[in-house]
Structures are given as C-alpha cells and as structure tokens.
Amino acid sequence: MRLAEYITGGSIRIVAREWPSLPPGGLIVKTEACGLCSGELMAWYLDRKAPHVLGHEVAGIVEQSDDPRFPVGSRVFTHHHAPCFKCEDCRRGAFVHCGQWKRTKLEPGGMSEYFAVSAEGLNDAFRVDGLRSVDAALIEPLACVLKSVGRAGSRGATAIIGAGALGLMHGLLLPDAHLIERDSGRRAWARQHRLKVVEPKEEAYDTVFVCPGSGDAVQLGFELLRPDGTLILFAPMPPGEPFPFSQELAYFKEIKIIPTYSCGPEDTRAAYELLVQGAIRAEQVVSDFVKLDSLPETYQQMRDGAILKAMVVFD
C-alpha cells in the first residue's frame, strides 16, 4: 500500500509499505478521504515526530473487522485518539488528557491507502454510512471547532481571527461573528459563503477566537477585546515564543485566556449530527480535492498559503 510520510523541514514523500495487521477487536479501513490539517503544516511540531505518516481527518470503508458493530463494507469515522471513559480525566470530561487517548493512534496514519484501528481506538469511532466520504472526513476538525465554541461559553460580540478552513468553520457555526483576515483571497472565499468579513477595530469584542498560532494574531486578538473579555487560543505558538502582551495588561484588563486542544467523543458526535443536517459541506472549507500522488506539491502550496485546504480523495 502507499502512504504520505513527512520527513523533516516540510518535505513529504509518497512511499510503499506493507499492509497493517488486523488488531484483536479492531479494524482495517480502506481510506476514502483524508483532509490535510493545518496543524500538520507546523514544521516545529512535525519535525520532532519525523518520519511521521500524515493524516487524521479521515473516513473510509471497513475492509477487515474483528468487531460486529463495524461490518465489512460499512463506512466509518475513526478518531486518531480515543479515551478509556474510566479514568478521572474522562469522568470530568477532560478526554484529551486521558492516558489512553494520548496512547491510541491510527496505524500507520490516515493519509494511507489502508490503516488499522485498535479495539481501544474504537471508543471514538462510529458508522457514517449516510454521509459522503468527503464530509465524513470533516468530523474531526469540525469537532475541534465545536469544542472551541463550547469552551468560550457565553460569547457576546464575537470576532474570529483567521479565515483558514478552521476559521471558516468557526464562522459557519457563528454566523453573527466578525471574521478578520488579511489575505484577499481568503476574504473573498469567506464572503462567497456569506460570512461577515470586517476590518479590525480596537476593543470591540467580548470574545475573540484566534485561529492562527502566531504572535501577531494573538496580539491582535488581545487588542480587540473589551475588558473582561475572553481570548480563545485555537492553535499553539511555536515553543519558546512568549505571549505578545504583558501579564500586567492582561491582569488589569481581566482577560480570560482559554486554550482549546483537539476534541473528545461528545464533540465528534455533535459534529457528525451537524454534517448529517447539511450545516457544513466539504466544498465550503476545502479548496483542493487531490489524489495521493499530488500531495507533496499540494502540501507546499497549503503551507505557503497559496491554497485554502487540501483533502486527498483515494481511489
């Protein structure tokens, strides 16, 4: 089988490997569609895992099954991490801090013609027979956005910084929010989908979602907040990069700073329901549907900002 492997420094290669073995109680899935996540563009993050098989925004058809809930031929969503539902972190709903959640993964990864899911990994997997594969592959990123919106709580006047695919998803879920984006092509894409693109105005918002992991974006988000506002950090800044505002300013302005990382089973099921309802479709946030052989070039284009988001559609 063939797959996409990240080497280092933003380089991708297509390589051949043996099929994964069927795990006891698990699945072998034939990949139908896999999105390229913006987090997979962060060289500082991927380099420390290299060589690394890309892909976790994925949906496919069960090829082999050792679990009667997922018969051969059924379409499934499988999260690349799945919690145990038993530990203290799970009991308090902090699924991404569960030891099993951190340990589980797709083998070798979703950007592969076939991948294996362990029995543990099926704790956040479900059938999605009624969805198109390209929509089902949005469950994981949309679930991350739903968690982000939920962690914000009561929002008031809201701004979203960044009109990448995840910023667009925030905007599609929050149609009254103001979307702030510097890139003219992304502004045009957002307006095409009837999102409210505006120029930034100082201290205008109660809640600001910062989607890019950059100091400039975080600084702008901070400046746009009213006192006692909420700053949602959707992506991390590179290691060692300090916050671009002082603790003193944040203290006297009483800013609530809330990071939001990945998603859990409640979020993935809520995302699935929204996709079933047609609230979001792949064409609204994916600009380039490509084949696996095109991914090395497409990866560079997405990393350079030349395209919005890529999704690999498998034969």
For 272-286, write each residue's pLDDT tens digit: 999 999 999 999 999
- Among 119, 108, 112, 107, CA closest to 69: 119
104-136 tens-digit pLDDT: 999 999 999 999 999 999 999 999 999 999 999
d(CA 230, CA 208): 6
Residue 177's identity, in one-letter code, is A
pLDDT at 202: 75
- Among 22, 264, 23, CA closest to 120: 23
165 with 285: CB under 8 angstroms?
A: yes
3-state percent breakdown (helix, strand, coil) of the chain, nearest 5: 35, 25, 40
Sign, Cα dihedral of 90, 36, 159, 230: positive
The alpha helices in 3-152, defined as continuous H runs, are: 43-46, 88-91, 99-103, 133-136, 139-152
151-170 tens-digit pLDDT: 999 999 999 999 999 999 99
Beta bridge partners of 28: 64, 116
35-74 tens-digit pLDDT: 999 999 999 999 999 999 999 999 999 999 999 999 999 9
244-264 tens-digit pLDDT: 999 999 999 999 999 999 999
d(CA 19, CA 178): 46
For residue 130, report the phi and psi dihedrals to the nearest 5 degrees. -85, -5
For the chain, the straight-line distance linking the first and the last C-alpha, in angstroms and rounded, comes to: 12
Give Cα separations from 4 to 120, 164, 238, 301 (angstroms).
Answer: 24, 22, 24, 16
Domains of the chain, with CATH numbers?
Answer: 2-138+280-313 (3.90.180.10), 144-259 (3.40.50.720)
- The region, left, alpha or beta by phi > 0 then psi within -120 to 50, assigned to residue 278 is left
56 with 37: CB under 8 angstroms?
A: yes
pLDDT at 8: 86
Q: Which two tokens stand for residue 69?
A: 């809930």
Q: How confident is the model at residue 10 (pLDDT cuts 50, 70, 90)?
A: confident
132-155 tens-digit pLDDT: 999 999 999 999 999 999 999 999
